[in-house]
Amino acid sequence: MPRDLHTGSVAERVAALNARYKHHSATAVLEHALKDDDLGRVALVSSFGAESVVLLHLVSVIAPETPVLFVDTRMLFQETLDYQRELAEKLALCDLRTIRAHPKKVEFDDPDGTLHQFSTDACCALRKVEPLERALAQFDGWITGRKRFQSNTRGTVEFFEAEGDTRIKVNPLAHWGREDLEEYMVENRLPRHPLVAKGYPSIGCAPCTSPVKPGEDPRAGRWRGSEKSECGIHFINGKPVRTGEAA
């Protein structure tokens, strides 16, 4: 269960954390905030996607004991699964936990694997949102790789966000740009997701991810042709969580 060392509501703790670390760097947020009682016990949630290696590497160096949660929807690209295994070994991730939906629930709700064709929201809820929520129940917060430049819906992301009255979301790379990520990967000689070279700057499940053309939003290839832009793990009460919003 989460540690009960902090006081105040989630929103109050988020405000205090953002004020405390406002002028800090991503590494400082990880070095200090992860030990801050206002944050509590946290896990890193990683998709092992196009940019995931940067945050995974930072955490492996700064706080290697941090649990890493990987949601395997059973609909991921084979390249993602291979990349996940490669990074786990290269970065020596010592507490990597693979999260999946309960087989009987999948069998009942999506017996033929076609749910995504009729309702992407229902498919994401079944295969990603619900399993992750179950896994996060023992944590006070979680670390994400969300960044402002990724899309319009993420343009106001701060280091810390309130996830309703439940948990705190930590976004250490919120202010990083694409050039910062590129420089970090080059300097640290980090392996790239193989699909990036094929035009996939944002990578999710295989049926709902397509290549992105030059000049398009980096997440334009996610659920192309629909208004959907998030899988749902960054939503509270059906709305995307942004700075200052608790619901």
The pLDDT value given to residue 231: 61
How far apart CA 56 and CA 203 sit, in angstroms, is 16
Q: What is the pLDDT of residue 26?
A: 87
Candidate list 123, 205, 208, 231, residue with the active-site label: 231
Is beta strand 141-143 parallel, antiparallel or unpaired with respect to 160-163? unpaired
- Of 73, 72, 55, 66, give the one whose Cα is nearest residue 93: 66
231 a catalytic residue: yes
Per-residue model confidence (pLDDT) at position 61: 93
pTM for this prediction: 0.84
CA dist., res. 241 & res. 246, Å (int) = 7
Q: Using one digit for the tens of pLDDT, what is the confidence trace for 91-140? A: 999 999 999 999 999 999 999 999 999 998 999 999 999 999 999 999 99
The predicted pLDDT at position 73 comes to 96
Q: What is the pLDDT of residue 246?
A: 27
pLDDT of residue 84: 97
Res 232: pLDDT: 54
Model pLDDT for residues 22-50, shown as the tens digit of each residue: 888 888 888 887 888 888 899 999 999 99
Q: Work out the burial of residue 179: count CB atoms within 10 Å of its CB; fewer than 13 is exposed, 13-18 middle, 19 or more buried.
A: exposed
Q: Residues 170-199: pLDDT tens digits?
A: 999 988 888 899 999 999 999 999 999 999
Please provide the DSSP assignment of 86-134 as one string.
HHHHHTT-SSEEEE---HHHHHHH-TTS-HHHH-HHHHHIIIIIHHHHH
Sorted by where each starts, the structural domains of the chain and their CATH numbers stand as 10-240 (3.40.50.620)
Per-residue pLDDT, 3: 46
Asked whether the beta carbons of 140 and 2 are under 8 A apart, the reply is yes
Question: CA 196 to CA 134: how far, in whole Å?
Answer: 30
Distances (CA, A) of 68 to 121, 128, 156: 25, 15, 25
pLDDT value of position 57:
97
Q: What is the distance, to the nearest Å, from the Cα of residue 156 to the centroid of all Cα atoms in its chain? A: 16
Determine the pLDDT at residue 238: 41
- Mean pLDDT value of segment 77-83: 97
**Banded model confidence at residue 227, pLDDT cuts 50, 70, 90:** low
Residue 240's pLDDT band, with cuts at 50, 70 and 90, is very low
